[in-house]
Structure 1
Amino acid sequence: MRAIQIHEYGGPEVLRRVEIEIPKPGPDEVLVRVVTAGVNFMDVHTRQGKYRDSRTYPVRIPCTLGMEGAGDVVAVGERVTNCRKGDRVAWCIAWGAYADYAVVPAARVATLPDGIAYDLAAAAIFQGSTAHYLLEDVARLGAGDTCLIHAASGGIGQLLVQLAKRRGVEVFATTSSAEKADVARARGADHVLMYEDGAFADRIRDMTHGKGVDVVFDAVGRTTLRDSFRATRTRGLVVNYGSVTGPMRDLDPYELGEAGSLFLTRPRLADHLADAPTVQRRANDVFAAILQGALDVEINGRYTLDNVETAHAALEERRQSGKAVMDIA
């Protein structure tokens, strides 16, 4: 079968198309014929070596890339009870989707409802589950609450805006351009601001009568995090779920006290996909919102195994907002 692997860390040039044997599922695993794979920053980060020492995401080289996908179960291992041969499924946080077939832990697999196509499932399962746990488990926002969503025109940002509005939350959003601001508004953001080298925090303070927002979702990292503190109310929550501009290595917890006794968390999706029922519950909520028309997942990039280097280059150059997928079958 075809597979895209890396045997060393580096740029898109380290991607290798290889022919390997179709794997066999072991106990608690399923074999899936991949129809569509998602294309994510996590794939780029894997290729660059950012998870080489991670315990949460223990992927090591050599490996087949692709940490989310959708397809058909063609074989199941011992003890698998949550799906069976012939089921249409999607999964994330299990590497190997850039291939014709992938062995996936059964606990990571969610069955698909009628009406959700493979490409939409592959585009929604990772980012949708991420937005779901951030709102449902971490922030626990409800009607009348306020939040700030950075990078609101990005894939997860767009879903956060839509799901927060579905809960009745007042949404402040930041973007880096007028074009991206239009995307955030189209998704339902109440107030859209430019970053302006951190001036967004001052504007939010003015707009909230000096209070600040209840929760900030910050996937940008180094260039925004301290200003995110300034935009957050006393005893509010800052959720740093990504570091697009790089990590902060000089943060003193004292700063959280000075900013108003803030809570800061750095969550990861893997810790919020504890078991098969949780995976299926999150997927069910995301897919239901899509089918109800309350959640729009835009696929604005399509690739194949033959031009995977182009897909990675587009991500690294920030030319890809929304979601990209790779057609395998």
Structure 2
Amino acid sequence: MSVEKAQIIQVGQHGGPEVLKLAQVDVPAPGPGEVQIRQKAIGLNFIDIYCRTGLYPNPLPHGLGFEASGIVAAVGEGVGHVRVGDRVAYGQGPIGAYATLRNVPGGKVVAIPDSVSFEQAAALMLKGLTVQYLFRQTYRLKGNETILFHAAAGGVGLIACQWARALGVRLIGTASSPEKAALARRYGAWEVIDYTREDVPARVLELTNGQKVPVVYDGVGRDTWEMSLDCLQPRGLMVSFGNASGPVEGVNLGVLAAKGSLYVTRPTVASYTATAQAMQAAADDVFELVTAGKLDIVIGQRFALKDARLAHEALASRRTTGATVLTLD
């Protein structure tokens, strides 16, 4: 098979959105265990910003992005679960999803049903897998709980709102504006706290009749760490799964004791989808909700691949709602 050309977004040095450059690279035939994907849509996530800035360092130069969808163009030796022409997606890298064509380890690739579009799959994989492991594995929600979920109007948040509603869980969300609060409510949040105008722990105490919540899901990080701990019941679980406002640093474990013998975990998607079987099972869980009409993937913004810089600017400034995707012709 001849080598093909692909356009990619490349990071030559860590920094702001201006370091993102459009480049052309050679893509060889897929090696053993690899799947070559002609990509149709690419999902954006805050982890892309962490990689761009060097918070999560990778050897330079490097690509960006961990999730995308497309059509199988070729398969390497030993790949049997997908074939050329299949509609597929992946949500766990490796890094370099901002590309028109690429080779991906077969174990990361899942088939997507016809009921899920390429854009939905690209916007859904990492975010959907995130909510799946948060709600079904890290702290398995059974229904009738009241929980706190920060950034409820974001890409992960809107999936969480809908999934919580499907489970019969009362999700209290936080948001930064009345518009975002209304959006989260529309997609299933039981109540939303505007953290720019309200005291979050005080409002949680009021909404729970003084009981607080058994679990807080926090993808914001530094800005919400203290308030999150103050919302937890004794022996509650703080699930810190992201750093949108910066990493949590200088943690004093004595604070956990003082606030009621609290638990803290810092989980990642990779740890919960470590095998091909676990990946497919988690993805199927997500796709079933979409197919059943219980999960509407809200794509708030679309950018061309060449405009990745603009997409990063919008994401970093919190001017986005729902998911953001890069589109390919």
TM > 0.5 fold call? yes
Whole-angstrom distance in 1 between the partners of 2:30 and 2:183: 42
Shift of the alpha carbon at 1:64? 2.0
Report the equivalent of 1:15: 20
Shift of the alpha carbon at 1:264? 0.6
Whole-angstrom distance in 2 between the partners of 1:269 and 1:196: 30
Report the equivalent of 2:53: 48
Report the equivalent of 1:55: none
Whole-angstrom distance in 1 between the partners of 2:46 and 2:224: 19
Is 1:298 the counterpart of 2:298? The answer is yes
Q: Could you tell me the percent identity over the aligned residues? A: 40
Instruction: Map 1:266-277; keep pairs closer than 5 Å.
Output: 266-277=266-277
Whole-angstrom distance in 2 between the partners of 1:305 and 1:178: 31
Task: Work out whether residues 153 and 184 of structure 1, in 8 Å CA contact, stay in contact via their aligned partners in 2.
Answer: yes
Task: Work out whether residues 164 and 188 of structure 2, in 8 Å CA contact, stay in contact via their aligned partners in 1.
Answer: no
Q: How many residue pairs end up in the alignment?
A: 323
Q: Secondary structure at the match of 2:320?
A: coil
Whole-angstrom distance in 1 between the partners of 2:126 and 2:199: 31
Whole-angstrom distance in 1 between the partners of 2:160 and 2:151: 10
Shift of the alpha carbon at 1:80? 2.0
Shift of the alpha carbon at 1:198? 7.6
Shift of the alpha carbon at 1:197? 7.8
Shift of the alpha carbon at 1:134? 0.5
Whole-angstrom distance in 1 between the partners of 2:106 and 2:318: 33
Whole-angstrom distance in 1 between the partners of 2:234 and 2:198: 19
The match for 1:28 among 18, 30, 33 is: 33
Q: Secondary structure at the match of 1:21?
A: strand
Whole-angstrom distance in 2 between the partners of 1:99 and 1:121: 16
Q: Secondary structure at the match of 2:27?
A: coil
Could you report, residue by residue, the CA deviation over 1:244-270 in whole angstroms, capped at 9, with x for unpaired residues?
A: 122222211111111111111111111
Whole-angstrom distance in 2 between the partners of 1:198 and 1:217: 19
Instruction: Map 1:201-212; keep pairs closer than 5 Å.
Output: 201-212=201-212
Whole-angstrom distance in 2 between the partners of 1:51 and 1:40: 13
Counterpart code for 2:174: T
Counterpart code for 2:48: D
Report the equivalent of 2:169: 169
Report the equivalent of 1:328: 328
Whole-angstrom distance in 2 between the partners of 1:197 and 1:169: 25
Counterpart code for 2:260: G
Report the equivalent of 2:10: 5
Task: Work out whether residues 4 and 305 of structure 1, in 8 Å CA contact, stay in contact via their aligned partners in 2.
Answer: yes
Is 1:85 the counterpart of 2:84? The answer is yes
Task: Work out whether residues 35 and 106 of structure 2, in 8 Å CA contact, stay in contact via their aligned partners in 1.
Answer: yes
Task: Work out whether residues 177 and 196 of structure 2, in 8 Å CA contact, stay in contact via their aligned partners in 1.
Answer: no
Whole-angstrom distance in 2 between the partners of 1:207 and 1:260: 20
Shift of the alpha carbon at 1:24? 2.7
Q: Secondary structure at the match of 1:20?
A: strand
Q: Secondary structure at the match of 2:88?
A: strand
Could you report, residue by residue, the CA deviation over 1:225-253 in whole angstroms, capped at 9, with x for unpaired residues?
A: 11111111111111011121222222111
Instruction: Map 1:1-329; keep pairs closer than 5 Å.
Output: 1-52=6-57, 59-94=58-93, 95-196=95-196, 199-329=199-329
Whole-angstrom distance in 2 between the partners of 1:132 and 1:101: 28
Q: Show structure 1 runs of 4+ deviating over 3 A.
A: none
Whole-angstrom distance in 2 between the partners of 1:27 and 1:196: 52
Task: Work out whether residues 143 and 168 of structure 1, in 8 Å CA contact, stay in contact via their aligned partners in 2.
Answer: yes
Q: Give structure 1 stretches of 5+ with no counterpart.
A: 53-58
Q: Secondary structure at the match of 1:60?
A: coil
Q: Secondary structure at the match of 2:85?
A: coil
Could you report, residue by residue, the CA deviation over 1:141-196 in whole angstroms, capped at 9, with x for unpaired residues?
A: 11121200111111101111111121111211111111111011101111211225
Whole-angstrom distance in 1 between the partners of 2:322 and 2:297: 8
Shift of the alpha carbon at 1:212? 0.8
Task: Work out whether residues 98 and 328 of structure 1, in 8 Å CA contact, stay in contact via their aligned partners in 2.
Answer: no
Task: Work out whether residues 198 and 227 of structure 1, in 8 Å CA contact, stay in contact via their aligned partners in 2.
Answer: no
Could you report, residue by residue, the CA deviation over 1:17-62 in whole angstroms, capped at 9, with x for unpaired residues?
A: 112112332222111111111122222221111111xxxxxx4321
Query: RMSD across aligned C-alpha pairs, in angstroms?
Result: 1.5
- Comparing 103-112 with 195-204, greater Cα deviation is found at 195-204
Report the equivalent of 2:3: none
Task: Work out whether residues 146 and 214 of structure 2, in 8 Å CA contact, stay in contact via their aligned partners in 1.
Answer: yes
